[in-house]
Amino acid sequence: MVLVGLAASLALAGTTALEWIRATAPDLTGTVIDVSVTGQEAAPGVLALALVGVAASVASALSSRWLRWVTGSVLLAAGAGAAVLALGTSLDPEAASRAGVARATGVLGGEVHATAGSWPLLALVPAVLVAAAGVAVLTVGGRWSSGSRYRSAAVKAPTGPAALPQEDPAAAWDALTRGEDPTAGDDEPSRPDVAE
């Protein structure tokens, strides 16, 4: 579910680079021009929420069980907020395109005719997936283990006789991790052969 949230957040961010609205408006000379408005201009909050979703997805994988309540809530809110903004852009493209049109034409408050494309509606799919990942983190994230295999290996004591370091190098490293000298049990320390 963490990977779903991460992929959906990245896909949501990617949709904002595409054309969401096609508008026509007069420029400073009065000539009506066509303006392409991207999702970043029409709904900048969608990109911001997508980046929040990326951060919350990564944090969900690395955090403790209790912190996943926060990251799950953030994912749910980011997905729902992005869906509302994308839907609002699709329903009122003229209001959403004003900033992009003003940038392209240099005219503030001019008459704008705008039509929303399909990308605002398609952006709903990754937004809903981000929210669904948040719900999944909230419902099952508390059951994910948060221990580290390295930390658990260091805490566990050996149950049987210790293996010789020459026979099992991993046992030597485990002994060092526990703070023990892996060569302490050797009867005869090995000496290099000296040529006479």
Surface-to-core class of residue 86, CB atoms within 10 Å of its CB (0-12 exposed, 13-18 middle, 19+ buried): buried
Residue range of the domain that includes 17: 2-143
Asked if residue 162 and residue 109 are part of one domain, the reply reads no
- Does 95 lie in the same domain as 165? no
Please choose, from the candidates 136, 1, 8, 138, the residue with its C-alpha nearest in 3D space to the C-alpha of residue 82. Answer: 8
Give the HSE-up count for residue 141: Cα atoms under 13 Å, Cβ half-sphere. 27
Residue 187 scores a pLDDT above 90? no
Is 149 buried (19+), middle (13-18) or exposed (0-12) by CB count in 10 A? exposed
80-103 average pLDDT score? 93
Q: Which residue's structure tokens are 């952006």?
A: 123
pLDDT of residue 62: 84
Enter the pTM of the model.
Answer: 0.68
pLDDT of residue 179: 78
In total, how many domains does the chain have? 2
* Residues 52, 69 share a domain: yes
Residue type, 68: R
Same domain, 22 and 77: yes
pLDDT at 45: 95
- The stretch 44-65 carries a mean pLDDT of 91
109-168: per-residue pLDDT in tens? Answer: 778 899 999 999 999 999 999 999 999 999 887 666 654 444 444 445 455 555 555 667
31 and 72 share a domain?
Answer: yes
Specify whether 35 is located in the same domain as 131: yes
